Every structure is written in C-alpha cells, then in structure tokens.
A and B are shown apart, each in its own frame.
Chain A
Amino acid sequence: MNRKGFKIRPEMVPAILLVFGFIAGAMESKYFLDPKYLLDSSTQYVETGLLALAMTFVIVSGNIDLSVASMTVLVACVTAKLMESGWATPSACAVAIGLGVILGAINGFLISKAKLPSFVVTLATMAVYRGIAQVLLGPNSAKVNAGFAGLDTQYLPGHVPIPLVIFLVTALILGVLLHRTLFGRWVFSIGTNETASFYSGIPAAKVKLGVFALSGLMAAAAALLMDSRLGVARFDHANGLELDAITAVLLGGASINGGRGSILGTVLALFLVAVLRIGMGVANVKAEYQLVVIGSLLVIAVLSGNFVERLSSARKPSAAK
C-alpha cells in the first residue's frame, strides 16, 4: 500500500483514546478501576456491542442502518409476549431469531431491490418497527419466562459474565467473516465502488441483502440478551442504541463513505464508549451531559476518520485529487 511501509491503522485512534479514557476514569473515581465493577458494568453494553458488530458490515458496505434499536425492541417485545402467553423458551427464541432476520431482510430488500437510500429506508422502518412494538404492548410491559431471566448474573470462572463471553465469541466469528472470507471481500468491494463491483460480477444486491439480514440477526441476539437482563420488555426500551452503535463503528476507524473499517476497531471503540459511559456514571455526570458527550464523540469520530484518510492519501502521490 504504502511506499514507506508505514500505514496508519484505523484502530489507532480508539486504542489511544481508550488509554486516555482509562486514565481519566481512574482519576475521577477510585471505584472505577475495580475489575469486578468494570466486568459487571460491561454486560449492559453487550447489546450495543452486538448491534455495532453488524453495523460495521453495514457501514463498510457504504450503507447505514438506523433501525437497529427498533428491531431490537420489536423482537424483545414479541419474544416476551410469546413467553407470557405460554411459549417455551427455546421456541420463543427461535421465533425471535427468525423475526430479526426477516426485519433486517425487509430493510435489505427495499435498499437493494427498490434501490432506495439506506438512511431514508431505515429511518422509516425505525419508526415502523418501534411503532409495531408500541401497538403490540401499549404502555404495558411483558414478562419473560422465569428460567430465561438473569443470564447477565451468571459467570464463567474469574468473574467473567456470560454476555461478555457471547459478545467476544460473536466478535471473533464476525471478524473472520468480514476479514477472511469471500463475503467479507465483497462487502468491502461494494463499499468502495458499487458500480465497479457490479460489473466485476459481484452479486451486489445479494450482498447488501445479506448485510442487512445480519444486522437483523444481531438485533435479535441483542433483544434476547436484553430480555434476559431486564426480565421484562417494553416498547420504549433500547432507546437511542443506534447512536451508540454507529458512534462505536465510526470511532473504530470505519469510513462513513464505506470501504474501510474493521471489527477490531469497532471492539476497541466499544470498550471506549463503555468506559466513557461507566466513567461518566461513577462521576455522576447527568444523562443529558452524556448525550452531548456521545453526540460530540460521533462528530469527532467522523472528523478524525476523514483526517486519517486524508493523511494516508496524502502519502500516496497517485491518490491526488
């Protein structure tokens, strides 16, 4: 790639910020560096994490999925409703997974077949999916089966919460899928230049469909973890998770224009967002200030991404515009 053999890795930005985040958190409160506390707190970010892993595929393919939180909440509500009406846990979970894939595929179909821009389609389905959840449950909450609740309080030896393990294993699998398989190459290819990909025989529409279905699948997984963690489902849960997920992906070095990004970067950035949120939590920073911080972080993430892009293209004389 680079004549000098030095390449600015997109993961560098979150990695450096993560170190700063830890130092700041440790200075803010002595409770922050307690590993048990950090591990316990991590479970509530696993749902965002799963969404962000799939969002990495979506963004690398040059699209965006604003409906992830709404898919999560719809699947969570349907699953809890089924369990409340007497369904056994395994069959309810199977329906949840199927529903998630279908919701994601609907997005994918509208985007790849009807050729509509992803941000408008998913903005609309963001409202539709949460709207259906609201119509389904109204202001009530639905309870999950007793045996299904509380996965987040179960640990592997060494106080490692089960959801964290699920997240890390999923990250590994999706990392291999994105960086080591043909499908992954295709995702990068359509994100870099869709027209060129199409003419080189890549089934662009199918790849996009697959990417959005994957996003739905991860939303279903997040929904099951959320149901288990909270024990109940409500239509207004998982509010604004799409913002955290998108922030994490962009902070992880993915280009919003597609064609660049990595699962490792997303995972590092997720830890950064989690550390920031936990840090702001122990420092008693109010929720509204947290909103401002995360919103600004998103903008900074894109800016730093653009900056890195410009730096690395400036080093390549051929890439002059």
Chain B
Amino acid sequence: MRSDLAKKLSTLREAGTIVLLLAVVLAAWTKDHHFLEAKNLNSILLWIPLLAVVGMGQMLVILTRGIDVSVGSTMGLAGIIVGMLFRDHAGLNVFVGAGIGLAIGAVLGAFNGGLIAWLKIPPIIATLGTLSAYRGLVFIVSKGDQVASNDIPDALVNWTMNGPIKVGGVTVSWLLVWAVVASIITAYLLKQTRTGRDIFSIGSNPDAAMLRGIPVRKVTFIVYTICGAFAGLAGVLYASRYGFVNPGSAGTGFELIVIAAVVIGGTNVFGGSGTVPGVLLGCLLLGTINVALAVLGIDETWQKLVYGLVILVALILDSGVKKWLGKLSEVGS
C-alpha cells in the first residue's frame, strides 16, 4: 500500500512536470513560431548540463531530507582554481582539469558532510555557513581577478561547441554527455547499490534507519561528498560553457535554480522519494522556461522571481497531491 502510494505520487508528479513543460513550450510557440528551431533548441540543450550535473548531487541530498545551498559557491571555488591551473600551466589536459575540479568539490562536500553527519549541524545552517565561507575563499584564492577567456584552453571550450551527435543544426554537446554520465552514475547508485537503498531509508524515516542498523552518518557523509564532487565538476563545465570564470558571478545564486529543478522534478522535500528521470525533466523544464522567457520578451529581472515561484509551485503541488492521495486511500480502505 505504502509503496503503491509513493509510486502513484511520483508518476502523477512527473506527469504534472510534463504538462507544465508543454504549457511553456506552447506559450512560447504561440508568441513566436520559430521557438522550436535549432538556435533555441541548442540554447536549451546547453542550459541543461550544468543544472543536471549539480542537480543529481542535490537530489541525493534532498532524498536524505537534507539540503545543500553551498553548491553554487563550491562550483565557483572549483571553477576558479581549475581555471587558474589552466592559466598557469598551459599544457594541462582538460580531463585532468575536470578530475581536479571533481576532487576539490569532493573535499568541500566532505567538509559539509562532516559538519552535518558527525557534528550534528542541521544541513541548512551548515551549508549556509559554507555558502559564505567558500565564496569568500573564491575571492581570496583568485585575489579578485577573473580567469579570462584566452586562458581557457580550446579543448575545454570544445566541450560546449562540439559533440558526438549533430542533427540538422542541433548539437548534442560533450557537456550534455557529462550530464548523462552523471545521471547514469546516480541512477546506478540509487537502484543497484546498498548505499542507494540506505539513502531512501534515511529519507523516509531517519530514526527507523538508525534502529535498523543503517550507517546513517556514513551514508550522509557520502551523499554530501558526492554532491560536492558533482558541483566541483560543474565548476569546470562552467568554465567550458561561459569561456571565463569570474569570482563574483561563477555559480552565484545557482543553488536556487538547482533546488528549483530538483523539487519541480518531483523530489520530495521531506526526503525518501525522487527519481533521476524526474530531475532531468525538471532541468529540461527550467532550461525551456529560461529560453522561453527571452522569446516572450520577459527580461532578466524576472528570473529570480520565476525560479522562486517554480519552487513554491512544486511545494504546493506536492502538498496538494499528497493530501488528495491520502483522501483517496482513506476512501479505498
């Protein structure tokens, strides 16, 4: 019964996201019949990867009833350090760079994980603190200088410009391949490993998980470390996508967009339920909204309001659907 309910809930929520997506596409298409052309599709496809990579980690965190608002600063710190390495060591291999970004992110995430799992600091407080602290470190490490576009190697920019599949002007970039890899790893972790099962158990009922002998602290620590690692990788992808890394703007406010994508994608903020395809749908929806806003002539000043509203809508949908299903099952039984 219980899992039946959860399943019903998640299919309903994903259907809701798809309806929202179609509504946005339809609105933009009515305004401009060229909306679905290659140029806009490419913008949407380029918008998704960063969001999806960070979103996978954020989903794992939210599944355990946690939250990580420091991901934007983690992205910025990993991005600026790897950017400076590229600047100072011209021949550095881009994959080594990505690996370093991942490692830096993992360390920062592990720090969050340590504060939360062992020192018992609530996730929102711990990561709010490191949101500031990591951003401060970005300025300290870079001395306020940005990594300029001519310091980013061509091989890295190539990840954005080219990709394995090109159909009629639409490019599936290498960035998107990174996102797919991150999604597959996350899906495998959740579906095929014991840690994945533990993540769901902790989110569904932390006390029961502890009593059942699940290593709650260890799993929590791992989850934040993975979240940080993905954010660190995204920092390097950011350098590829935008061609420069500015200490003030790289990743600033990105946590909000990521959390919006994850919760509109059906991940429950109370933990314990959420899927990789759902989050990918959420990323697609936010990417489409972003490009549609420009088409609809709504300028950038609206962005913050829109992302905030998306989170609110998702929350209200969740609580509404839950109540409705609760009533249904009461009638049924």
Please list the residues of chain A having a beta carbon within 8 angstroms of any beta carbon in chain B: 64, 66, 110, 114-117, 119-121, 123-132, 134-135, 138-139, 240, 243, 246, 250, 256-257, 286, 288-292, 294-296, 298-299, 302-303, 306
Tell me which of B182-190, B235-243, B303-311 binds A: B303-311
Let me know if B130 is at the binding interface, CB within 8 A: yes
Q: Convert B37-58 into 0s and 1s, putting 1 for each residue whose CB lies closer than 8 angstroms to a CB of A.
A: 0000000000000000000000
Instruction: Please list 26 pairs of residues, one from A and one from B, whose beta carbons are closer than 8 Å in the complex, sorted by A's number.
Output: A110-B315, A116-B319, A117-B269, A120-B259, A120-B269, A121-B312, A123-B256, A125-B312, A128-B305, A129-B308, A130-B304, A131-B303, A131-B307, A138-B301, A139-B301, A286-B139, A288-B138, A289-B136, A292-B132, A295-B131, A296-B129, A296-B133, A299-B130, A302-B121, A303-B119, A306-B121
**Nearest neighbor of B302 in chain A, beta-carbon distance:** A135
Question: Which chain B residues border A116 with CB–CB below 8 Å?
Answer: 269, 315, 319
Q: Given A131-B308, A134-B301, A295-B132, is A124 in contact with B315 using a C-beta cutoff of 8 Å?
A: yes
Most buried by B among A116, A117, A127, A295: A127
A130 to B136, CA, bound (A): 23
Closest CB of chain A to B327's CB: distance in Å? 15
Let me know if B104 is at the binding interface, CB within 8 A: no
Other 7 A-B pairs with CB < 8 A, given A289-B140, A292-B133, A298-B128? A127-B305, A128-B305, A246-B125, A246-B128, A290-B136, A296-B133, A299-B133
**Nearest neighbor of B298 in chain A, beta-carbon distance:** A135
Partner of B119, one of A131, A240, A306: A306
A31 to B67, CA, bound (A): 43
Q: Given A135-B305, A240-B132, A303-B119, is A123 in contact with B125 using a C-beta cutoff of 8 Å?
A: no
A279 to B136, CA, bound (A): 18
Question: Which chain B residues border A135 with CB–CB below 8 Å?
Answer: 301-302, 305
Let me know if B94 is at the binding interface, CB within 8 A: no
Q: Given A299-B115, A299-B121, is A291 in contact with B305 using a C-beta cutoff of 8 Å?
A: no
Question: Which chain B residues border A302 with CB–CB below 8 Å?
Answer: 119, 121-122, 125-126
Question: Which chain B residues border A290 with CB–CB below 8 Å?
Answer: 136
Instruction: Enumerate the 9 nearest inter-chain pairs by beta-carbon distance, A residue then B residue, closest first.
Output: A131-B305, A127-B308, A288-B139, A295-B132, A295-B133, A128-B308, A291-B136, A292-B136, A131-B304
A298 with B125: CB separation less than 8 A? yes
Let me know if B135 is at the binding interface, CB within 8 A: yes
**Nearest neighbor of A294 in chain B, beta-carbon distance:** B132
A124 with B311: CB separation less than 8 A? yes
Question: Which chain A residues border B121 with CB–CB below 8 Å?
Answer: 256, 299, 302-303, 306
**Nearest neighbor of B128 in chain A, beta-carbon distance:** A243
B319 with A123: CB separation less than 8 A? no
Closest CB of chain A to B126's CB: distance in Å? 7
A124 to B316, CA, bound (A): 11
Most buried by A among B67, B307, B315: B315
A128 to B303, CA, bound (A): 10
Size of the B side of the interface (Cβ < 8 Å), in residues, is 42
Question: Which chain A residues border B128 with CB–CB below 8 Å?
Answer: 66, 243, 246, 298
B69 with A123: CB separation less than 8 A? yes
Closest CB of chain B to A99's CB: distance in Å? 16
Let me know if B263 is at the binding interface, CB within 8 A: yes
**Nearest neighbor of A128 in chain B, beta-carbon distance:** B308
Let me know if B120 is at the binding interface, CB within 8 A: yes
Question: Which chain B residues border A291 with CB–CB below 8 Å?
Answer: 132-133, 135-136, 139
Question: Which chain B residues border A257 with CB–CB below 8 Å?
Answer: 122
Closest CB of chain A to B37's CB: distance in Å? 29
Closest CB of chain A to B107's CB: distance in Å? 16
A131 with B311: CB separation less than 8 A? no
**Nearest neighbor of B120 in chain A, beta-carbon distance:** A306
B301 with A288: CB separation less than 8 A? no
Closest CB of chain B to A71's CB: distance in Å? 13
Closest CB of chain B to A65's CB: distance in Å? 11
Let me know if B95 is at the binding interface, CB within 8 A: no
B312 with A295: CB separation less than 8 A? no
Closest CB of chain B to A294's CB: distance in Å? 6
A134 to B131, CA, bound (A): 23
Question: Which chain A residues border B311 with CB–CB below 8 Å?
Answer: 120, 123-124, 127
Partner of A127, one of B144, B270, B307, B316: B307
B315 with A114: CB separation less than 8 A? yes
Let me know if B124 is at the binding interface, CB within 8 A: yes
Q: Convert B60-96 into 0s and 1s, putting 1 for each residue whose CB lies closer than 8 angstroms to a CB of A.
A: 0000000101000000000000000000000000000
A131 to B306, CA, bound (A): 8
Let me know if B26 is at the binding interface, CB within 8 A: no
**Nearest neighbor of A288 in chain B, beta-carbon distance:** B139
Question: Which chain B residues border A306 with CB–CB below 8 Å?
Answer: 119-121
